[in-house]
Structure 1
Amino acid sequence: MSSTDYPVIGGEGGPRGPVDSSRVPRYAGPATFARLPRIDQVEAADVAVVGVPFDTGVSYRPGARFGGNAIREASRLLRPYNPAQDASPFALAQVADAGDIAANPFNINEAVETIEAAADEILGTGARMMTLGGDHTIALPLLRSVAKKHGPVALLHFDAHLDTWDTYFGAEYTHGTPFRRAVEEGILDTSALSHVGTRGPLYGKQDLTDDEKMGFGIVTSADIYRRGADEVADQLRQRIGDRPLYISIDIDCLDPAHAPGTGTPEAGGMTSRELLEILRGLASCNLVSADVVEVAPAYDHAEITAVAASHTAYELTTIMSRQIAKAREEGEGK
């Protein structure tokens, strides 16, 4: 498939968009995210969609190493206009698939270093990252890289779990520890941290006490049910303000009815509709990069989880594309 199969959209000299589904059936051709061009097929990317097929840090069911490609396959059905945000993200900015970061599956410490170095390279081009995991271990090296560019960042962490535990079996780097490490390393703005969608049993009340000391606010899935997506999004916007924001989404923030394909499912979660509406309510925030992780296709009936993850990544990509376009307009107006 040549670059001519990725039409120029948004006017002459604009970005190259997805393959035209009226010319090439959606089930044909390479499974890049949203059928967009690869990063080597464009001059430069404003948003790089990158996979990290790594799940050595999981504590229960493995399989998230296959999540990125499952999300890409499910994204074949995404279309170029997002009516919920009234935006055509692939016309506003050049979004491209940057392939996968290959990390050592037998050495977590080495893998974390590899992911950080690769993220440094991508961010060094000026692109923002939309990362497809992989397990939640990968959030730490991604945050390290983003913080090098922006300083300590605000964090919205969508998850059933806190992921601020200390160690598992003596290991400091696992999918349950990334945000404790990030706080310890000073790469998060501790005045603007929130978990969203948490629920389920904990090891003890001390988990919540420790988490609060780190600076995290908590919006549980029950809070979302009682208060609604709009009120929750408003609360989160006020907490984040105009700080550089990183959003990390463990797909198990959704109820297993909406995301069965994940390693540590918990009953009583959000619906996919609630997640998408909250994200749309954050469109005015300064989103500098994001990830969607813990999609494990081996447990995913009829690709329910991968579809939800692909739409989640689409909303996040739309937010970044809109902000990039707005910044360019403001820059040209000066």
Structure 2
Amino acid sequence: MEELRIEDKGRLGPVDSSRIPRFAGAATFARLPRLDQVAHADVAVVGVPFDSGVSYRPGARFGANHVREASRLLRPYNPALDLSPFAEAQVADAGDMAVNPFNIHEAIEAIQQNALDLTAGGSRLLTLGGDHTIALPLLRAAAERAGGPVALLHFDAHLDTWDTYFGAEYTHGTPFRRAVEEGILDTDALSHVGTRGPLYGKKDLEDDRRFGFGIVTSSDVYYQGVREIVAKLRDRIGERPLYISVDIDVLDPAHAPGTGTPEAGGITSRELLEIIRGLRGLNLAGADVVEVSPAYDHAELTGVAASHVAYDLVSLMSELPKPSVATAGQRTTAGAK
């Protein structure tokens, strides 16, 4: 079937939904072109179907395609930011990384290398998970591209700075502890947002504070409000290269039931989107949206929320400086989806 696409400012955009119904055609993110259909992508959206690091409910390996399906409803103009992101930047779907589901160490190495390949020509990367284990190799690649440690803004119900689980150092609950130990995070600019729920003990918070994290709980968002939280986050991040990692369980289960480790008392999808929009203009080096488990997602609430979070993150990336023409041709795909 012929793909009738919107073209704006010389950039190939999504399939024209006024001519081809939203429920028809290939399910790329926001119905955008594949990476092999464009000469270069300023922003690449890639899936990582990996969930071998989960400690409770599996299924996030199917998350990326679930978000892609939900993203069929996205449109090319973002009124909240008064921006047409697909006209400001060439955005493309890079398909899925092929990683070993039986060997976490090998999978981590493959994700890191794929991320480096995809960003070789200056592209920014928005990754759809997958469980939170994948954040570690993505942060390694982001720090390498940034030439040093990066700031981290981590949206999550959980800290994810635990040491081990059943003796395993690499799980979805350990990526940010490992990242601090490896020196790839700027410890003056680390923040959790949306944390809540019971912990194993007070030492969890003491360790987290020692690593340099500031904590904005879901209650803080409720009592202080989005504008105050955004102002504090922007002040902490400054002009540093920033990586944003969004575990969809940061949302209350009423907004995102389709996730592996839900916790009551979370923030709303409106609050999450408004905080992300408030970060406009920061030096966004990369981002991920993880832990979407479609088997638990009645009425696709989680997929819809995750697709809008990803859309706003892509929108923020679309305004940032583009790579030079000389480097733009140097890109490698993650493989056809």
* Fold conserved between structures, TM > 0.5: yes
Q: Is the 8 A contact 1:195 1:218 kept in 2?
A: yes
Structure 2 SS opposite 1:248: strand
Counterpart residue number, 1:126: 122
Q: Is the 8 A contact 1:93 1:324 kept in 2?
A: no
Q: Which amino acid aligns with 1:311?
A: H
Structure 1 SS opposite 2:319: helix
Counterpart residue number, 1:331: none
Q: Which amino acid aligns with 1:291?
A: D
Counterpart residue number, 1:78: 74
> C-alpha displacement at 1:5, in angstroms?
2.5
Q: Is the 8 A contact 2:112 2:141 kept in 1?
A: yes
Aligned-partner Cα distance in 1 for 2:250–2:67: 16
1:9 aligns with 2:8: yes
1:278 aligns with 2:275: yes
Q: Deviations over 1:184-208 (max 9, x none)?
A: 0000000000000000000000000
> C-alpha displacement at 1:253, in angstroms?
0.2
> C-alpha displacement at 1:160, in angstroms?
0.2
Counterpart residue number, 2:25: 29
Q: TM-score, normalised by structure 1?
A: 0.95
1:266 aligns with 2:226: no
> C-alpha displacement at 1:6, in angstroms?
2.5
Counterpart residue number, 2:160: 163
Q: Is the 8 A contact 2:156 2:193 kept in 1?
A: yes
> C-alpha displacement at 1:247, in angstroms?
0.1
> C-alpha displacement at 1:323, in angstroms?
1.5
Q: Deviations over 1:16-63 (max 9, x none)?
A: 000000110000000000000000000000000000000000000000
Q: Is the 8 A contact 2:4 2:19 kept in 1?
A: no
> C-alpha displacement at 1:7, in angstroms?
2.9
The answer to which of 279-288 and 30-39 deviates more is 279-288
1:255 aligns with 2:252: yes
Counterpart residue number, 2:194: 197
> C-alpha displacement at 1:123, in angstroms?
1.0
Stretches of 4+ aligned residues off by more than 2 angstroms: 4-7
> C-alpha displacement at 1:288, in angstroms?
1.2
Q: Deviations over 1:242-262 (max 9, x none)?
A: 100000000000000000000
Q: Is the 8 A contact 1:153 1:189 kept in 2?
A: yes
Structure 2 SS opposite 1:324: coil
Aligned-partner Cα distance in 2 for 1:83–1:164: 36
Aligned-partner Cα distance in 2 for 1:7–1:290: 26
Q: Which amino acid aligns with 2:281?
A: S
* Aligned pairs for 1:89-128 within 5 A: 89-128=85-124
* Aligned pairs for 1:112-261 within 5 A: 112-150=108-146, 151-261=148-258
> C-alpha displacement at 1:285, in angstroms?
1.0
Q: Which amino acid aligns with 1:6?
A: R
CA RMSD of aligned residues (A): 1.1
Aligned-partner Cα distance in 2 for 1:265–1:170: 23
Aligned-partner Cα distance in 2 for 1:126–1:29: 29
Q: Is the 8 A contact 1:136 1:178 kept in 2?
A: yes
Structure 1 SS opposite 2:318: helix
Larger relative contact order (C-alpha < 8 A, sep ≥ 6)? 2
> What runs of 5+ residues in structure 1 fail to find an aligned partner?
329-334
1:304 aligns with 2:274: no
Aligned-partner Cα distance in 2 for 1:278–1:107: 36
Q: Deviations over 1:126-180 (max 9, x none)?
A: 1000000000000000000111110100000000000000011111110000000
Count of equivalent residues: 323
Q: Which amino acid aligns with 1:120?
A: L
Q: TM-score, normalised by structure 2?
A: 0.94
Q: Which amino acid aligns with 2:251?
A: L
> What runs of 5+ residues in structure 2 fail to find an aligned partner?
325-337
Q: Is the 8 A contact 1:16 1:37 kept in 2?
A: yes
> C-alpha displacement at 1:322, in angstroms?
1.2
Q: Which amino acid aligns with 1:182?
A: A
> C-alpha displacement at 1:125, in angstroms?
2.1
Structure 1 SS opposite 2:12: coil
Aligned-partner Cα distance in 2 for 1:75–1:195: 26
Q: Which amino acid aligns with 2:185?
A: L
